[in-house]
Amino acid sequence: MEDIATAFPAVKILEHASLADYTHTKTGGPADYLAFPTNVQEAKSLLAYAHQLDLDVTVIGNASNLIVRDGGIRGLVMILTKFKTVTVDDVAHTVTAAAGAAMIEVTQVAQAHQLSGLEFAAGIPGSVGGAIFMNAGAYGGEIAAVATSAEILTPEGEVRTLNQAELDFGYRHSSIQDYHDIVLTATFSLTPGNGDQIQAQMDDFNARRAAKQPLDLPSCGSVFKRPTGHYTGQLIQEAGLQGLKWGGAQVSTKHAGFIVNIDHATATDYLELIHHIQQVIWQRDQVRLETEVRIIGEEPQA
């Protein structure tokens, strides 16, 4: 049997490709095979062929809230950022977006059609698929409030549509995480609004984000979930950890809930710094910090 790159000459497939070129932290080891399907049929065919070869399959989007360990990922990695179609039903007041479309772009399309409900996501750097997977949220809003359905590809290769109840949204959670489905598209139900007011709200959120977050440096976004009754950044700050450097990684001096890559950091630098923060906060405050960032891949070989 041909290897997967030879079998799909029309699909961009790289072998032993560094995932650091695709993650927002600029870290991560190699993928055995890295594929960029452009449509659902290519994704289905790649999934089926990988199963025939007994290859594990990992799907990522914009890799904005992701750490890939330095050992990389075995098998096939599919990046769906070439799935970018965004359509609007002005009668039903819905926006349907492909998994690889940037959430920022989707909010701009909604604003252009004077549809309100996605303003909170105006600065979220992830893709639609990642936003559904994580139930992304910011500034009091979250995807669960507007996502009414998602078309998914099951690990068995079946295309299905999940309604909102089946998506089982929770805090930074969806059923996609439990069943390892692949998001293909998502539909958002919005409400008619005033385009200028929608844009003003988006501008306000983006200005607040720029003022508080280290957008000028590579990072994986907010590292930890918010623990009940606490603010993560405040806990880290009060523990004296803001500005702490670990290899090339540093607790951001602008927002202590972020870890930034300041000097060719490795994923191991990130993960060791995360573990250190968790230990210190537990010992000092008896608060368990759970990671919001998704951590995948293998440890580097000794």
Between the alpha carbon of residue 212 and those of residues 35, 79, 222, 244, the distances in Å are 35, 30, 12, 18
User: Phi and psi at residue 82, in whole multiples of 5°?
Assistant: -85, -10
State the average pLDDT over residues 42-64: 96
Annotated catalytic residue 298? no
State the average pLDDT over residues 180-185: 96
What does the alpha-carbon distance between residue 278 and residue 35 come to, in Å, rounded to a whole number?
Answer: 35
The pLDDT, as a whole number, for residue 3 is 87
State the average pLDDT over residues 94-123: 98
State the average pLDDT over residues 60-83: 96
The pLDDT, as a whole number, for residue 241 is 98
Indicate which residue of 64, 116, 149, 222 is catalytic. Answer: 222
**Which token pair is 263?**
């000097």
pTM: 0.95
Indicate which residue of 142, 172, 219, 252 is catalytic. Answer: 172
Annotated catalytic residue 222? yes
Residue 192 burial (10 A CB sphere; 0-12, 13-18, 19+): exposed
Per-position b or e across 17-46, b if 16+ CB within 10 A of its CB: bbbbebbbbbbbbbbbbbbbbeebebbbbb
The pLDDT, as a whole number, for residue 214 is 97
State the average pLDDT over residues 90-115: 98
Indicate which residue of 42, 119, 151, 292 is catalytic. Answer: 292
What does the alpha-carbon distance between residue 265 and residue 256 come to, in Å, rounded to a whole number?
Answer: 17
What region does 250 belong to: left with phi over 0, alpha with psi -120 to 50, or beta?
beta
State the average pLDDT over residues 285-290: 98
Domains and CATH numbers, the chain: 4-79 (3.30.43.10), 86-210 (3.30.465.10), 214-296 (3.90.78.10)
Please write the tens of the pLDDT for every residue from 131-171.
999 999 999 999 999 999 999 999 999 999 999 999 999 99
Task: Inform me whether the pLDDT recorded for 2 exceeds 80.
Answer: no
The pLDDT, as a whole number, for residue 175 is 97
State the average pLDDT over residues 248-259: 98
Mean pLDDT for the chain? Answer: 97
Residue 283 burial (10 A CB sphere; 0-12, 13-18, 19+): exposed
